[in-house]
Amino acid sequence: MSASELTRFTLPNGLRVVLAPDPTAPVVGVSVHYDVGFRSEPEGRTGFAHLFEHLMFQGSESLEKLAHFRHVQSSGGTFNGSTHPDYTDYFMVLPSAGLERALFLEADRMRAPKLTEENLRNQVDVVKEEIRLNVLNRPYGGFPWILLPPVLYQTFPNAHNGYGDFSELEQADLDDCAQFFDTYYSPANAVLTVAGDITVDRARELIDRHFGDVPHRPAPTRPSFAEPPPTGERRGEHLDPHAPLPAVALGYRIPDPVHELDGYLANLVLAAVLAEGDGSRLQQRLLHREPMVTDIDAACGLFGPFEARDPDTFIITAVHSPEVGQPRLLAAIDEELDKLASTPPSDQELAKVTARWVAGLHREHDRIVSRTLAFGSLELLHGDPNLANELPTRISSVTPEAVAAAAKALRPDSRAVLTVTPAGGDK
């Protein structure tokens, strides 16, 4: 899709809108991104942003509980929502005839979700069960996205568990819900994206009809979550009763994804050079030449790239046998980073990596839900949904010297080391 096909405008109530017509298939994607993630939740209410995401599916002042599910599914559509460090998104894909229904549903809960004691208690239980399933009762649960931040970071927004502490989830009340909604779920704090089989004029007409009278509330002032990088190596340990093997996660601070995008993209390419695919540096050495690990990975972002503002995290994770001491493993990783820092990757090696990345982006954005979410999140975080179209070229333009500089910045004296130790097997 060319950048010229995107249409952007803002309603009088502050709602930003991105329209991306694409008539190639008779489907539409609709998403709403709210500028609030778990880094914004109040201290003493860990997990609240995710809990509130659940509450937004529990009906509204106009629709009873489960009506949202019924209306989307009866239209042949799918839907979901997710909570990230710096935003919460809600999205659906329907046949294009269902566009007005989708817009009505999103506007209706933006106007007034059904916040009741029954819904709150029910969803607290649902979230607790999700935590049990995804974190507490599985090997390497929360590794590294929950366990690494409190080692690397020191402030509450950056370090706390975004899934939530059970006791804090249980203490949440309707006043907390009302305050959170009033503060963060204003149209002026949101981006609506509509992509697919639409015409701009018709979409604008429907958006004005359904969202135009959602009351304006000022968007909250977004605080900076900046904090100084580590001045030494920070270490933490987690005992995992379900883990069959030891594991380690290394966390490093990386350039601001929004204001230093080229530096951030160099780290993205570095992660692929290190650990993406069988030919990558760490896989070749640690899985094949000197077998030390059963799994090795490197990535930008706790959830993946382009999901957060500054500060963001470069992560290397490894699962290894007990016979391989951690010092030996870390020394091998540091040696590979030093090699890249002193001798940039060849043009050929970089071309392979960037070609794979670019192909992956094109493949991902062939899916209308991925394309819709990319436009919305990039508008919200970067103020530029066109980045979704520009990223393949930007990533292809990363130079060997930029990758070497990124590797040089990942230093042992300014990182976090999280050790996961098996604690006696399953209980």
pLDDT, tens digit, 9 for 90 and up, residues 250-270: 999 999 999 999 999 999 999
For residues 309-316, average pLDDT: 97
Question: CA 335 to CA 233: how far, in whole Å?
Answer: 17
Sign of the torsion angle spanned by Cα atoms 275, 277, 283, 289? negative
Q: Is residue 386 part of a domain?
A: no
Please give the helix or strand (H or E) that residue 83 lies within, else none: strand 78-83
- Same structural domain, 314 and 408: yes
For residues 99-121, average pLDDT: 95
- Helix/strand/coil for 151: helix
- Helix/strand/coil for 145: coil
What is the DSSP track for 291-360?
A: --EEEEEEEESSS-TTS--SSEEEEEEEEE-TTS-HHHHHHHHHHHHHHHHHSPPPHHHHHHHHHHHHHH
Question: CA 112 to CA 303: how far, in whole Å?
Answer: 30
Q: What is the pLDDT of residue 67?
A: 87
Q: What are the pLDDT digits (tens) for 362-406?
A: 898 899 999 999 999 999 999 999 999 999 999 999 999 999 999
For the full predicted model, state whether its pTM sits above 0.85.
yes
- Same structural domain, 151 and 274: no
- Same structural domain, 291 and 411: yes
- Same structural domain, 93 and 194: yes
Contact criterion met (CB below 8 Å) for 117 and 221? no
* Domain tally, the chain: 2
Please give the helix or strand (H or E) that residue 245 lies within, else none: none
Sign of the torsion angle spanned by Cα atoms 196, 80, 51, 224? negative
Q: By residue range, what is the domain housing residue 243?
A: 234-344+399-422
> Within 10 A of 65 (CB to CB), how many other CB atoms are there?
15
Question: CA 350 to CA 333: how far, in whole Å?
Answer: 19
- Same structural domain, 203 and 278: no
Q: What are the pLDDT digits (tens) for 24-81?
A: 999 999 999 999 999 999 999 999 999 999 999 999 888 888 888 899 999 899 999 9
Q: Is residue 417 part of a domain?
A: yes
Q: What is the pLDDT of residue 423?
A: 85
Sign of the torsion angle spanned by Cα atoms 285, 290, 292, 294? positive
Q: Is residue 262 part of a domain?
A: yes
Q: What are the pLDDT digits (tens) for 184-238?
A: 999 999 999 999 999 999 999 999 999 999 999 999 999 999 999 999 999 999 9
- Same structural domain, 178 and 292: no
Q: What is the pLDDT of residue 4?
A: 45
The rounded mean pLDDT for the chain is 94
Burial classification of residue 348, based on how many CB atoms lie within 10 Å of its CB (0-12 exposed, 13-18 middle, 19 or more buried): exposed
Q: Is residue 360 part of a domain?
A: no
Q: Is residue 270 part of a domain?
A: yes
Q: Is residue 218 part of a domain?
A: no
- Same structural domain, 56 and 90: yes
- Same structural domain, 118 and 191: yes
Closest CA to 251 of 273, 267, 269: 267
Residue 427 has pLDDT above 60, yes or no: no
According to DSSP, the β-strands at 88-95 and 312-320 are unpaired
Token pair 């530096």 in the structure block, residue: 263
- Same structural domain, 326 and 239: yes
- Same structural domain, 10 and 106: yes
Q: What is the pLDDT of residue 129?
A: 97
For residues 131-141, average pLDDT: 95
Residue 426 has pLDDT above 60, yes or no: no
Closest CA to 387 of 258, 274, 280, 277: 258
Q: Is residue 359 part of a domain?
A: no
Q: What are the pLDDT digits (tens) for 317-357?
A: 999 999 999 999 999 999 999 999 999 999 999 999 999 99
Q: Is residue 357 part of a domain?
A: no
**Numbers of helices and strands, H then E, in the chain:** 16, 11
Q: What is the pLDDT of residue 3?
A: 39
- Same structural domain, 287 and 326: yes
Please report, for the domain that includes residue 93, its CATH number.
3.30.830.10
